[in-house]
Amino acid sequence: KVKDRTAMVGTSVKGASHWVAAQTSKSAKQAMLQARSSLSIGEKLMLFLTEKITALSHNGLTHVAMFLGIVGYTAIGATLFNFIEGSHETIEKIQIEEKRDRFIKAIFVESRLHDRMENWTIMAKEKLKPFELQLIQSFSQGVSSDTRIWTFWNAMFFCSTITTTIGYGHITPVTKAGRALCIVYAIIGIPLMLILMADFGKLFTRILKHIFRIIGRIKRSARCIRIKKSQALVGCRDAFRCICSKIFPCKCAQKEEKENVEEGKKEGALETFINDDNFNLPISLALLILIIYILLGCVVVSITENWTFFEAFYFIFISISTIGFGDLVPQNSYFMMVITVYLVFGLALTAMCINIIQEKLSNTFKDATAKMKQSFSNIMAKAEQEEEDDKASDQSSQDSELAEVHKQSSKRDRKCDSPLSL
């Protein structure tokens, strides 16, 4: 009967707790609906988008969506730049060929009319000037008669240098439409790329922390296994201690105290290791990962571009630091996209290192602030204690002086009242 009553009480308690939780959720939902009804249309839209993005972020789809969005934005920009600047490059090449053909025909016709060499040389120089000016103009705009500059893949690489703010300068727009498009494209693309790099930097940080947590769990499980194995020896050790304490009570007591202290230290270390879930990654590890990533890229770039290892390291460092001198640029158009993806992830790793350093500095500042507050409170408490002690000593000295005065006055009164004084 007692068991039945306890079971009934337990079920009633559970039912009451479920009812309270349901009522609380209903009230929370009603409050949320009332709060949403007071919002404007734009605020409701932003709240809806934020909730959807948060729900997708738990599934990891936002990272893929953001990366694909940047790729699509780069492809759209490459198509527009290839259309605008590629058409201008085609016109420039046609003009170069036309000027060259005119020069050749003029030389061929005028060479029959001039018998003397001096007259022919003067005529050739005059006919060569338009062709020279056209070559200089085309060369200043980056147009070459051998290779085509504005291809789709080169335009993709150019757009990636805009959004990542590297800006090598080996390809630049020369038309007004292309330059205006570059300004608008940079205004939209640079914030998107910064958001992507910050997001991937935080993602890499979470991945490394998750790996560290897995390693910590493996260590803790190994320690638990060792503890279970050692429990069989605890009984024998306690029996031996009991016999030893009867024979050598002093030595066994000292030894037991030392062992308890050591076990307490181990348990404390294990407890701190278990509770330290919100740990910060070491800065040295993040920098080591970034250095290894750069070195692997140096090996690949030096092989594909026929550069020395130092030249490849120089190019990658200048690119990841977003300096982008442009003195060394990959020439393989298809390999440029591989380099672009490599640099984007390199910039994300750099953002990860910056996040870790920022967290370390923030925690150091918080610890320093807490220590300063603690030391300041200790100093103030000590000062207040000293002030109270001084007041107490002053009061005691005043009391002693008053007591002395009272004693002297009482002695005088006694002398005055005695018959000898009369």
d(CA 112, CA 117): 11
Residue 289's identity, in one-letter code, is I
Residues 355 and 207: beta-carbon distance below 8 Å? no
What average pLDDT is seen over the chain?
76
d(CA 159, CA 152): 10
d(CA 24, CA 31): 10
pLDDT at 402 over 80: no
Select the CATH number that applies to the domain covering 62-208 from these four: 3.30.360.10, 3.40.228.10, 2.60.40.1190, 1.10.287.70: 1.10.287.70
pLDDT (tens digit per residue) in 272-299: 444 444 567 788 888 999 999 999 999 9
Instruction: Report pTM.
Output: 0.65
Q: Which CATH architecture has domain 283-387?
A: Orthogonal Bundle (1.10)
Residues 77 and 155: beta-carbon distance below 8 Å? yes
Residues 332 and 178: beta-carbon distance below 8 Å? no
pLDDT (tens digit per residue) in 125-151: 777 777 777 777 777 666 666 678 889
Q: Residue 275 has what pLDDT?
A: 45
Q: What does the angle CA 307 – CA 308 – CA 313 come to, to the nearest 5 degrees?
A: 95
Q: Residue 238 has what pLDDT?
A: 57
Q: 66: closest CA among 215, 239, 233, 196?
A: 196
Segment of 255-269, 315-329, 367-381, 387-401 carrying the highest mean pLDDT: 315-329
pLDDT (tens digit per residue) in 404-421: 666 666 666 665 555 544
For the chain, the maximum distance between any two Cα atoms, rounded to a whole number of angstroms, is 166
pLDDT (tens digit per residue) in 34-81: 666 777 777 777 777 667 666 665 566 778 888 999 999 999 999 999
pLDDT (tens digit per residue) in 68-92: 999 999 999 999 999 999 998 888 8
